[in-house]
Amino acid sequence: MSFGLAFTYLMSYGGAVVALANPFVGLLVYVCFAILRPGGGLWYWSVPVGGDFSKILAIGLLVGWAAHGFGDWRFGRAKLIVIALLLYLAWCAFSATQALIPVVAWGYVEDQAKTILPVIVGATLIDSVRKLKQLTWVILVSHGYVAFELNLNYFSGFNRLWEIGFGFMDNNCVAITLVSCTGLGISICLGAPRIWQKGLAAVCVAWMIHAILFSFSRGGMLGLVLVAILSFLLIPRRPIHYAILALGAGLTLAAAGNDVTKRFMSTFAEEEKRDASSESRLKLWEICLDVTADNPVIGLGPHHFPVHASSFGLTAGKEAHTTWLQLAAEIGIPGVALLLVFFLGVVIQLWPVARESYPVPDPWLRLTARMVIASIVGFVFTAQFVTLPGLEAPYFIVLLGVGTIRLLSVPDLVSAPDTTTHDGSRPE
**DSSP assignment string, 156-201:** TT--HHHHT-BTTB-HHHHHHHHHHHHHHHHHHHHH-SSHHHHHHH
Q: Identify the burial level of 381 via C-beta atoms within 10 angstroms of its C-beta, where 0-12 means exposed, 13-18 middle and 19 or more buried.
A: middle
Give how far the C-alpha of residue 244 lies from the chain's centroid of Cα atoms, to the nearest Å. Answer: 25
Among the listed residues 76, 147, 80, 89, the one whose alpha carbon sits nearest the alpha carbon of residue 118:
89
CB-based contacts of 256: which residues, under 8 Å, 6+ apart? 213, 264
Among the listed residues 12, 386, 391, 7, the one whose alpha carbon sits nearest the alpha carbon of residue 168:
391
CA-to-CA separations, 161 to 8, 29, 151, 305, 354, in angstroms, rounded: 22, 24, 9, 26, 34
Q: At residue 166, what are phi and psi to the nearest 5 degrees?
A: -155, 130
Rg of the chain over all Cα atoms, to the nearest angstrom: 21
Residue-level pLDDT at 247: 64
* Exposure letters 239-257 (e unless 16+ CB within 10 A, then b): eebeebbeebeeebeeebe
DSSP letters spanning 49-109: TT-SHHHHHHHHHHHHHHHTTT-----GGGHHHHHHHHHHHHHHHHHHTT-SSHHHHHHHH
pLDDT tens digits, the chain, 428 residues: what are they?
577 788 888 888 898 999 999 999 999 999 998 898 886 667 766 676 666 778 889 999 999 999 999 999 999 999 999 999 999 999 999 999 999 999 999 999 999 999 999 999 999 999 999 999 999 999 999 999 999 999 998 889 888 888 888 877 888 888 889 998 998 998 898 888 889 998 999 999 999 998 998 888 888 888 888 888 888 888 776 666 666 666 666 656 555 555 555 554 454 444 444 445 555 878 899 999 999 999 999 999 999 999 999 999 898 889 888 999 999 999 999 999 999 999 999 999 999 999 988 999 999 999 999 999 999 999 999 888 888 777 899 999 999 999 999 999 987 775 444 444 433 333 33
CB-based contacts of 54: which residues, under 8 Å, 6+ apart? 12, 30, 33, 34, 114
Which own/partner pairs from 309-313 qualify as long-range (CB within 8 Å, at least 24 positions apart)? 312/287
Residue-level pLDDT at 414: 58
- Is the pTM higher than 0.85? yes
**Helix residue spans in 351-415 (DSSP H):** 363-382, 392-409
Q: What is the distance between the alpha carbons of residues 409 and 74, in angstroms, rounded to a whole number?
A: 9
Q: What is the distance between the alpha carbons of residues 264 and 147, in angstroms, rounded to a whole number?
A: 20
Q: What is the distance between the alpha carbons of residues 299 and 290, in angstroms, rounded to a whole number?
A: 11
Report yes or no: 304 and 99 within 8 Å, Cβ to Cβ: yes
Q: What is the distance between the alpha carbons of residues 4 and 45, in angstroms, rounded to a whole number?
A: 9
- Rounded to a whole number of angstroms, the distance between the first and last alpha carbons of the chain is 50
Q: What is the distance between the alpha carbons of residues 200 and 202, in angstroms, rounded to a whole number?
A: 5
